[in-house]
Amino acid sequence: MNDYSRPQSLALAKNRTEKACAQLIGLISGITADGHLHDLEIQFLRTWLSEKRSEGEHWLHHRLSAIIEHILADGVVTNDERAELMTALQDAAGVNFTETGSVTPETIAFPADDCQVAFANATFCLTGKFHFGSRGECEAATTAAGGTCVSSVNRNTRYLVIGSAGATKSWKQATYGQKIDSAMKLKEKGHPIQIVTEEMWSEVVTTAQAGSVA
């Protein structure tokens, strides 16, 4: 593959992933709109995920497929399993029709880790918009606290920080979602990358800044 075809191939793969993810979110919104999962809906989602597997290798597809296969392993869906799957679907798409009254995502959930953020010798990747300040200001604060910033997620990235400003937009789309997708795939392979919120990041940054002033 030459230097010209590689970027094009990466762009096509990214577009396929985004399209497949958007379709999945829409499907979940429709299935969960009435607050109940019917057996036929679960079977349909299982088939849909299997058929779409080759079109977009997004972590959501893998996660939900694993849950559904586990639930259907014995051929019977219990009430507890039905509730478990409903929660997983609503968390994945960031929608809860019974609470918001709308199938449009009002609050977007993303898979943040519950961990302590340590800056010393750690590599950070920032994504989204931050209340803390501009991207340059956030990167400068990270560096001042002892961390290093990179523009994309890789195997050496220790933390992916999600900006809170505009977090009600669909984080699964464009670069915002692509970085989370990359981080989730690395986590599934055993890499010690953590996904943290701006609040978790800024708490440590603010403490470090206060200490330097003192």
- With a CB cutoff of 8 Å and minimum separation 6, the contacts of 32 are 86, 89, 90, 93, 95, 96, 97
- Tokens 């869906």 locate to 77
* Domain-located, residue 115: no
The model's pLDDT over 159-212, given as tens digits with 9 standing for 90+, comes to: 999 887 755 444 444 444 678 778 888 888 888 999 888 888 988 888 766 655
Question: Are 196 and 148 within one domain?
Answer: yes
Query: Which letter does DSSP use for residue 147 in this model?
Result: -
Which helix H or strand E contains 19, and what residues bound it?
Answer: helix 5-32
Question: Are 94 and 159 within one domain?
Answer: no
**Strand ranges in the chain using DSSP code E only, listed in sequence order:** 123-127, 148-150, 159-162, 194-197
Residue 101 confidence class, pLDDT cut points 50, 70, 90: very low
Other residues' Cβ atoms within 10 Å of the Cβ of residue 203: 13
Phi, psi (deg, nearest 5) at residue 211: -65, -35
**Domain containing residue 183:** 123-213
Question: Are 147 and 200 within one domain?
Answer: yes
Question: Are 81 and 131 within one domain?
Answer: no
The model's pLDDT over 39-79, given as tens digits with 9 standing for 90+, comes to: 888 888 888 888 776 555 667 788 888 899 999 999 889 99
CATH number reported for the structural domain that contains residue 190 in this entry: 3.40.50.10190
* Domain-located, residue 140: yes
- The answer to whether residues 93 and 153 touch, using CB atoms and an 8 Å cutoff, is no
Our count of domains for the chain comes to 2
Question: Are 129 and 94 within one domain?
Answer: no
* Domain-located, residue 148: yes
- The answer to whether residues 125 and 153 touch, using CB atoms and an 8 Å cutoff, is yes
Question: Are 149 and 204 within one domain?
Answer: yes
* Domain-located, residue 116: no
- The answer to whether residues 150 and 157 touch, using CB atoms and an 8 Å cutoff, is yes
Question: Are 145 and 190 within one domain?
Answer: yes
Query: Which letter does DSSP use for residue 132 in this model?
Result: S
* Domain-located, residue 80: yes
* Domain-located, residue 112: no
Please name which of 93, 92, 67 lies closest in space to residue 81, comparing C-alpha atoms.
67
pLDDT of residue 213: 47
